[in-house]
Amino acid sequence: MTEALKTRIENQLDELVAALDEHDPSGDPTAFIALLARHRHRIAAIESRCAHQAAEAQRWRREGYRSADDWLARTTGSSSRDAKRRLATADRLSELPTVRAAAERGDLSPDQTFEVARGAAADPTKVRHLLGVARRCDLHRLRESASEAVAQADPDPENTRRRIHRKRAMRTWVDAEGAWHLSLKGTTLDGAICESRIDNIADRIFRAAYRTGVREPREAYRFDAAVLLLTGRQPDFITGRQPQEPWTAPAASEDSAPDARSAYANTKSDPRAAISTTPPKRDVLIHIDFAALLRGRVLSGERCHIAGVGSVPIEIAADLEANPFIKAVIRDGTEIKSVAHFGRHIPAELRTAIEANCDRCENPGCGSTFFLEVDHLLEYAKGGPTAYANLDRLCSHCHNLKTTQGYRLLGPPGHRQWRRPDGSLIRGPACDDAECDWCDANADP
């Protein structure tokens, strides 16, 4: 880069900052923020390309650094982990010109670029699909799609699972503030079972806390759930214990003979009753394509994964009886349409079908995976059937908006639109199919 070009860039940035100082703060900054974000993405992509060129030329050796990661971290003031990730992404982009062009246009954030490049490097045929997911969906769904592409391209998923299992680990540390941290690393199946148990108990804690007027973040309830599972200690709002007070485990009574996991069961009649840790019969929902189950291996475009977590080897998924925590939804390539019920109650088979296709809030602008509730699109009181086509899942907040404030959820499954009480469109659709004609015809204005 010539000195003249560097001076030109710096002068233009100085002019931009000066213009911001003169900008009327009372105006709507939304469009300006979007423009700045787009150019920030472009600058990040260009920086990654320059860093890749410098690393290839081994400039870091001449300047005395240990590695290209160390040089980039020092130069940009970032962590070694972040620098390593950026260089890995830049290396992948050198083989993916379509993705690099999208990043340098500002269409992808650095995180989106990393995920698209990760999936496309494993399976280049997924480039268009992943770019479509990045355009229409949130980062979490893009990360899932990239992981699915990587898993489908894996020639030996069982060997990968064994390798990850050998590297399983638990780390703890105390940060500068004095807070204790816990980090676990293992296979997706073990992680999914642990998360499912913790989230199930966190939901029970949330409901009990809500009835007593306690309001805390979801992360706090998950921590309380993990502590309850490991130590048997009930949340503070139930015991009445102040956070600074020490906790003493209750002595087990020979007469009561409580369950080792919990001595009590949570009841609606007493919101301060101790939370039960008894697990449901099946904790983890696995999606399996019927053809893959018969074949014994997964081909490109087929699925064998845990919603919200990732792919699992089909050998484990097929042996359901060996793991009491797992339930499966086996697909034959068609959508679930035929399950129906005439009452308001949702039978187990139909609830499993809804959980399989709706692993997050159906409001395209929300996407929450917590506190999900099954909802009738056409209200049951107005004749809406308890059938798959008339059911979806909304988080408790969005469900309340729809039920009490007149917000509406429209569109077929997988192509939902969220509308205000006056009918105006807020958000939609949130389909991850890059070639979906319905979504293209009903895209946001």
Domains of the chain: 32-153 (no CATH), 188-239+261-279 (no CATH), 284-331 (no CATH), 340-441 (1.10.30)
Res 331: pLDDT: 59
Phi and psi at residue 49, in whole multiples of 5°? -65, -45
- CA–CA gap between residue 35 and residue 27 (Å, rounded): 15
Taking CA atoms, 60 is separated from 47, 80, 364, 382, 433, in Å, by: 16, 14, 45, 70, 42
- CA–CA gap between residue 279 and residue 225 (Å, rounded): 12
- CA–CA gap between residue 155 and residue 144 (Å, rounded): 19
- CA–CA gap between residue 148 and residue 358 (Å, rounded): 17
- For 157, what's the count of Cα atoms within 13 Å in the CB-facing half-sphere? 27
Identify whether the C-beta of residue 265 lies closer than 8 Å to the C-beta of residue 273.
yes
Taking CA atoms, 304 is separated from 214, 321, 432, 438, in Å, by: 39, 17, 18, 27
- CA–CA gap between residue 275 and residue 277 (Å, rounded): 7
Low-confidence stretches of the chain (pLDDT < 70) are: 1-2, 20-21, 23-29, 31, 240-272, 279-285, 290, 293-297, 300-301, 306-310, 314-349, 352, 356-357, 380, 383, 413-414, 427-445
Res 200: pLDDT: 85
Q: SS3 breakdown of the chain: % helix, strand, coil, rounded to 5?
A: 50, 10, 40
Query: Which sign, positive or negative, has the C-alpha torsion 352, 354, 357, 361?
Result: negative
- CA–CA gap between residue 319 and residue 326 (Å, rounded): 9
Q: Nearest-5° angle of CA 322, CA 226, CA 320?
A: 10
**Burial class of residue 14 (count of CB atoms within 10 Å of its CB; 0-12, 13-18, 19+):** exposed
Res 316: pLDDT: 62
Res 334: pLDDT: 44
- CA–CA gap between residue 303 and residue 152 (Å, rounded): 8
Taking CA atoms, 79 is separated from 115, 177, 262, in Å, by: 19, 20, 43
Identify whether the C-beta of residue 116 lies closer than 8 Å to the C-beta of residue 99.
yes
Beta pairing partners, 306: 286, 310
Res 186: pLDDT: 94
Look up tokens 């860039």; give the residue: 9
Is the peptide bond preceding residue 429 cis, with omega within 30 degrees of 0? yes
Whether the full predicted model's pTM is greater than 0.85, yes or no, is no
Res 119: pLDDT: 93
Taking CA atoms, 166 is separated from 161, 170, 186, 187, 205, in Å, by: 9, 12, 8, 10, 34
